């Protein structure tokens, strides 16, 4: 398989990515008949290779089955230009508030135009999944699918910061807004109106829910026993019957949140490749 | 009282431009990033960054990236790369080893040397990369050597990574079965592929690693070298009192998993530039 370094200028910043050329001369776009590709965004703040090169492994596998696969570093991450995030809680908060939305939308547009594609499945792990969901929620017409690896819906991460190194925006779970949110949730839950746990970002849940209802095929790869499993079960439970068929949940046992323990890496690659193969738009060898 | 974080001022990278390329090493694509000084007049030496391995690569990635930018801004034509089977480079991880990665260092050093044959070449090894840097330096490659937080030996490094992997698993998911380093070593000995920090380790990798150690240049070595040891890392030099060729820095362990994404590296960056400048001056004087 051949890889190519690719670039995109966004807002005066050079973003750097990798294109995994489909094997056996199968090129993305019109040459192969495949009109859709896959774009993976950074797994949290990790470089575009992903945690323990998970994103590389997925894109290699997709290229093997004839799917054009791309990975990009978002601003300030990996090899891309831009200010580096300082700490995980601040980065997470910024991602939930759209830090990467415009860059991701611009990348999607750039990739489809440059490689002659019509649509993309976009995804990533954790914060990468969040940005992908936000992109789908914005009703981006290029989006064909979501690849969510351990999506995280929490408002605040359970990260313990070292002493004397406060975050730029300290989390305050006991703040007045949090108390109001919890109270509203309790009341609504009693009458069956609020399906989302109080510690989560309800707009993210709603965004994913609406996207799937409106036709976005989605795969979620989850670490069994971790919160994402419970959260995605909530999403699934509230989907219509037709929309449920568009959601593929894959639970992997004995692994961690970044899917680097046990056989998760192989299992994730297998699951994503299988999911891609269902749709001939992604690969002429699909189906 | 809650205080606001005061992020350190970003390093000056305005005089650095990057070029990305793949080098062919034994039929694989070795990813390289060249950080060049924008002003040609500022060119002082070439620096080859021999970086961390495995999961330490991704944790140290942004720091290493910024260090390379900082070096370029200070007049050093700097090249960093990914080893075969890791990160952006192609290759099957189950078929590589520290010996293979040492070949990568040699290949990339030859590439740098052929591009600038008369320019001093500084080999800069970081963490386990320091072992490989010191080994190739001992064979005569490079005009000077700089080490950052060097690891003592391949065997020590593998033990450290296994310990870190087991600790992380215990913290990350209480449902995971408990294992020990002995269990992992036994499985490797039985020919199994064992997942360590997301990488498929083989017995060949472990066996090969035990044949690699940090090579401290002998007193007769005429080429200049220096080691920046970071407290409290237990490395080849950190436990010793002040010695020639060694500086102990109080800096954050930028290769470890931490909620701090941009550790305070100003002292490390400044010390690296100062050491590299000093080495080049010595090399030129010699």
Query: What ipTM does this complex have?
Result: 0.90
Question: Is residue A190 a part of any domain in this protein?
Answer: no
Give the E-state strand segments of chain B in sequence order.
16-25, 28-37, 45-50, 76-81, 121-126, 144-148, 194-196, 199-201, 225-231, 246-250
Q: Do residue B55 and residue A16 have CB atoms under 8 angstroms apart? A: no
Q: Which residues of B touch A3 (CB under 8 A)?
A: 22, 29, 31, 88, 90
- CA of B275 vs chain A CAs: smallest distance (Å): 25
| Buried/exposed code over A140-178 (b: 16+ C-beta within 10 A; e: otherwise) | bebbbbbbbbbbbbbbbbeeebeeebbbbeebeeeeeeb
Question: Is residue A100 a part of any domain in this protein?
Answer: yes
> For chain A (length 287 residues), average pLDDT per consecutive 10?
95 97 61 81 97 98 95 97 92 95 98 95 98 95 96 78 48 63 63 69 92 97 93 92 97 92 94 95 67
In terms of DSSP H, where are the helices of chain A? 54-64, 88-96, 101-114, 127-137, 176-190, 202-213, 227-237, 241-244, 264-277
Q: Which residues of B touch A45 (CB under 8 A)?
A: 62, 261
Instruction: Give the per-residue pLDDT at B178.
Output: 82
- CA of B62 vs chain A CAs: smallest distance (Å): 6
Question: Is residue A189 a part of any domain in this protein?
Answer: no
Q: List per-residue pLDDT tens for chain B, 286 residues long.
A: 333 333 445 556 667 899 999 999 999 999 999 999 987 666 789 999 999 999 999 999 999 999 999 999 999 999 999 999 999 999 999 999 999 999 999 999 999 999 999 999 999 999 999 999 999 999 999 999 999 999 999 999 999 999 999 988 888 767 777 889 999 999 999 999 999 999 999 999 999 999 999 999 999 999 999 999 988 544 444 455 678 899 998 888 899 888 888 777 888 899 999 999 999 998 888 8
Report the CATH number that the domain containing residue A242 is assigned in CATH: 3.40.50.1820
In terms of DSSP H, where are the helices of A20-87? 54-64
Residues of chain B with CATH 3.40.50.1820: 16-153+216-285
Nearest to B58 among A47, A165, A263 (CB): A47
Given a contact cutoff of 8 angstroms between Cβ atoms, the answer to whether A151 and A136 are in contact is: no
Question: Is residue A272 a part of any domain in this protein?
Answer: yes
Question: Is residue A239 a part of any domain in this protein?
Answer: yes
Q: Which domain holds residue A63?
A: 3-158+201-277
Instruction: Give the count of domains, chain A.
Output: 1
> If we measure between CA atoms, which residue out of A129, A134, A121, A128 comes closest to residue A46?
A128
Instruction: Give the per-residue pLDDT at A24.
Output: 67
Q: Rounded CA gap, B174 and B157, in Å?
A: 26
Please give the CATH superfamily to which domain B16-153+216-285 belongs.
Alpha/Beta hydrolase fold, catalytic domain (3.40.50.1820)
Cβ atoms within 10 Å, residue B211: 12
- pTM comes to 0.90
Six-digit token pair at A11? 């807002």
Across chain B, mean pLDDT equals 89
Six-digit token pair at A202? 């309800």
Q: Which residues of B touch A90 (CB under 8 A)?
A: 5
């Amino acid at each position: 398989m051949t890889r190519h370094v690719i670039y995109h200028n966004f807002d005066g910043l050079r973003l750097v990515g990798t294109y995994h050329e489909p094997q056996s001369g199968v090129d993305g776009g019109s040459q192969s008949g495949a009109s859709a590709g896959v774009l993976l965004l950074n797994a949290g703040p990790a470089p575009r290779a992903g945690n323990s090169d998970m994103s590389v492994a997925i894109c290699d596998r997709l290229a093997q089955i004839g799917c054009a696969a791309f990975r990009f570093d978002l601003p300030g991450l990996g090899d891309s230009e831009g200010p580096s995030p300082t700490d995980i809680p601040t980065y997470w908060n910024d991602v939930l508030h759209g830090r990467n939305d415009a860059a991701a939308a611009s990348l999607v547009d750039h990739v489809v135009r440059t490689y002659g594609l019509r649509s993309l499945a976009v995804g990533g792990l954790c914060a990468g999944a969040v940005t992908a969901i936000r992109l789908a929620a914005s009703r981006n017409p290029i989006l064909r699918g979501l690849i969510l690896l351990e999506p995280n819906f929490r408002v605040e991460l359970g990260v313990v910061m070292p002493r004397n190194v406060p975050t730029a925006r300290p989390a305050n779970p006991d703040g007045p807004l949090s108390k109001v949110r919890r109270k509203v949730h309790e009341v609504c839950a009693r009458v069956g109106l609020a399906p989302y746990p109080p510690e989560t970002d309800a707009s993210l849940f709603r965004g994913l829910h609406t996207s799937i209802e409106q036709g976005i095929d989605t795969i979620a790869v989850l670490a069994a026993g971790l919160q994402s499993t419970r959260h995605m079960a909530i999403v699934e439970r509230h989907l219509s019957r037709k929309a449920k068929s568009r959601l593929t949940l894959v639970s992997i046992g004995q692994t961690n949140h970044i899917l680097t323990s046990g056989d998760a890496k192989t299992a994730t690659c297998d699951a994503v490749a299988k999911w891609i193969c269902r749709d001939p738009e992604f690969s002429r060898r699909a189906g | 009282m809650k205080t606001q974080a005061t992020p350190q001022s970003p390093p000056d990278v305005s005089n650095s431009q990057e070029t990305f390329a793949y080098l062919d090493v034994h039929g694989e694509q070795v990813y390289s990033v060249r950080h060049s000084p924008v002003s040609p007049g500022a060119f002082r030496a070439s620096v080859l960054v021999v970086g961390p391995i495995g999961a330490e690569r991704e944790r140290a990635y942004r720091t290493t990236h910024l260090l390379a930018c900082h070096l370029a801004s200070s007049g050093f034509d700097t090249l960093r790369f990914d080893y075969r089977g890791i990160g952006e480079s192609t290759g099957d991880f189950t078929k590589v080893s520290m010996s293979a990665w040492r070949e990568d260092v040699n290949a990339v050093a030859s590439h740098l040397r052929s591009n600038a044959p008369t320019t001093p070449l500084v080999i800069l090894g970081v963490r386990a990369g320091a072992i490989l840097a010191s080994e190739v330096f001992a064979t005569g490659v490079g005009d000077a050597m700089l080490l950052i937080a060097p690891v003592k030996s391949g065997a020590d490094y593998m033990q450290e990574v296994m310990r870190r992997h087991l600790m992380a698993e215990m913290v990350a998911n209480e449902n995971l079965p408990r294992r020990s380093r002995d269990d992992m070593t036994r499985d490797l000995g039985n020919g199994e592929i064992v997942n360590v920090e997301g990488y498929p380790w083989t017995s060949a990798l472990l066996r090969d690693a035990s044949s690699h150690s940090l090579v401290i240049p002998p007193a007769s070595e005429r080429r200049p070298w220096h080691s920046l040891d970071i407290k409290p890392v237990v490395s080849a030099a950190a436990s010793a009192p002040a010695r020639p060729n060694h500086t102990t820095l109080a800096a954050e362990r930028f290769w470890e998993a931490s909620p701090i994404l941009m550790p305070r590296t100003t002292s490390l960056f400044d010390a690296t530039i100062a050491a590299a400048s000093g080495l080049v001056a010595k090399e030129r004087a010699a």
